[in-house]
């Protein structure tokens, strides 16, 4: 066992004892052999994250910035579950795209505040839901079930802006979050009439003090 491996062993066992007691450390030992048999991802200090090169690519893709073209070829469905083209929805208009998760109340709550913050005389507001409703127990079509959920949310929250399903696969290089470089949800992207990004807001905002 090398010096680095011994150091890793002491660190892992120490963490197990602190968090789970002696029994937790004993249980943890069953996984320790496998862990130590694997090459360390990094020669840096314990607790450091691997570099992009070590994991074979970017850990976090660069996010959209002002001036970048917003991709219009993303997979998109309307509130009835029918495929639509984002380019047709943008239609050369200044647009505010709010990407959110329907399963997170705080993310949904942002939508109503946004409707008050966006001046519809200067921009259109579109809500893009990036998660999908599970159908493993009852079966059915995920897109249609998700679209149905959006209709319920729109009714219950009293929203007026159009809502869409924008499926995201965080594990796919061409998944929506990786293509756009999304760091958190909700994320609001303001797109100019020419199709380029004007501004990006990540996370909850105080829309009472901010107008778009």
Residue 32: burial class (beta carbons within 10 Å; 0-12, 13-18, 19+): middle
What is the pLDDT, as a whole number, of residue 55?
A: 43
Distance CA 37, CA 210 (A): 53
The tens digit of pLDDT for each residue in 12-50 reads 445 444 444 444 444 444 444 444 444 444 444 444 444
Q: Is the pLDDT of residue 130 over 80?
A: yes
Over residues 133-172, the pLDDT tens digits come to 876 666 789 999 999 999 999 999 999 999 999 999 888 8
Rounded distance between C-alpha atoms, residue 91 and residue 169, angstroms: 26
Q: How far apart are CA 132 and CA 144, in angstroms?
A: 9
| DSSP labels, 101-157 | -TT-HHHHHHHHHHHHHS-TTT-EEEEEE------TTT---HHHHHHHHHHHHHHHH
Query: What is the rounded distance in angstroms from the CA atom of residue 186 to the CA atom of residue 109?
Result: 10
Cis preceding-peptide flag for 212 (omega within 30 of 0): no
Domains and their CATH numbers in the chain: 1-53 (no CATH), 86-202 (3.40.30.10)
Burial 55-68 (b: 16+ CB within 10 A, else e): eeeeeebebbeeeb
3-class DSSP assignment, residue 201 = strand
| pTM metric for this prediction | 0.71
């Amino acid at each position: 066992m090398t010096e680095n491996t011994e150091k890793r062993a002491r660190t892992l066992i120490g963490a197990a004892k602190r968090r789970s007691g002696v029994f937790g450390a004993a249980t943890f030992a069953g996984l320790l052999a496998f862990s130590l048999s694997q090459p360390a991802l990094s020669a840096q200090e314990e607790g450091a994250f691997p570099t992009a090169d070590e994991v074979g690519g970017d850990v976090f893709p660069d996010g959209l910035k002002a001036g970048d073209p917003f991709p219009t070829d993303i997979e998109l469905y309307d509130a009835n579950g029918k495929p639509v083209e984002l380019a047709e929805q943008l239609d050369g208009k200044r647009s505010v795209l709010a990407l959110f998760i329907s399963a997170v109340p705080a993310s949904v709550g942002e939508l109503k505040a946004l409707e008050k913050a966006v001046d519809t005389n200067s921009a259109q507001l579109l809500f893009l839901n990036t998660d999908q409703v599970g159908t493993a127990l009852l079966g059915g079509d995920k897109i249609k079930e998700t679209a149905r959920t959006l209709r319920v949310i729109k009714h219950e929250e009293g929203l007026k802006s159009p809502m869409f399903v924008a499926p995201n696969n965080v594990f796919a290089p061409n998944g929506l979050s990786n293509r756009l470089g999304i760091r958190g949800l909700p994320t609001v992207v303001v797109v100019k009439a020419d199709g380029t990004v004007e501004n990006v807001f990540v996370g909850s905002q105080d829309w009472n003090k901010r107008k778009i």
